[in-house]
Amino acid sequence: MDPHDTLPTLLEQAASPLPATVPSALRAHLAGLGAVTRFGALLLVFYSLFFNLSVVRGSSMTPGIQDGDRILVEPWSYLLGPVERGDVIVLRYPLDPEIDYIKRVIGLPGDQVTLARGEVWVNGVRLDEPYIAAVDVTSTLSTVVEPRNYFVLGDNRPRSSDSREFGLVPEANVRGRVDLRLWPLERAGLIQ
């Protein structure tokens, strides 16, 4: 290789048509591989722009989401619609924004959230929470969710660091919604 070759020159050579001496069957196979490679690269760019893959660390969301699960975080949905009660979200930990947490949204701006004897009440109505692993009968609090903030809890209440500990989550700390688990394969699918 000539040391004076430049990257554009090498790229032009790689993109140039195959020599006529290459058999037509091999030529068709190589052309097909090029199309697959281009499609794969386009898919990778699309994926990286619209989704983030994250690995769950800890047991605060069991039984639905477990330690080591690979989840897909979708950061764009909240540009199109509001955060809703019950959404599972990835958030920047309010006490150290370098750390991500996964939690469930319980209280929306303006909501009165009350915890008593292991039950959660929002605006005077007890929440039906079929997704929780265990209640924490020791938690008692009552708070009003401030504008542009959320109250979040883990599904495994006795083992979760959440709004009971670190307070409300500012809207700016919400990284995205989690709807899909990709791994392990036997539990892959939509998250309740």
Residue 122 CB neighbours (<10 A): 17
SS (H, E, C) 125-154: EECCCCCCCECCCCCCEEEECCCCEEEEEC
CA distance 153 to 15: 53
Residue 28 carries which DSSP code?
H
CA distance 103 to 21: 61
Q: Which residues are known catalytic residues? A: 60, 103
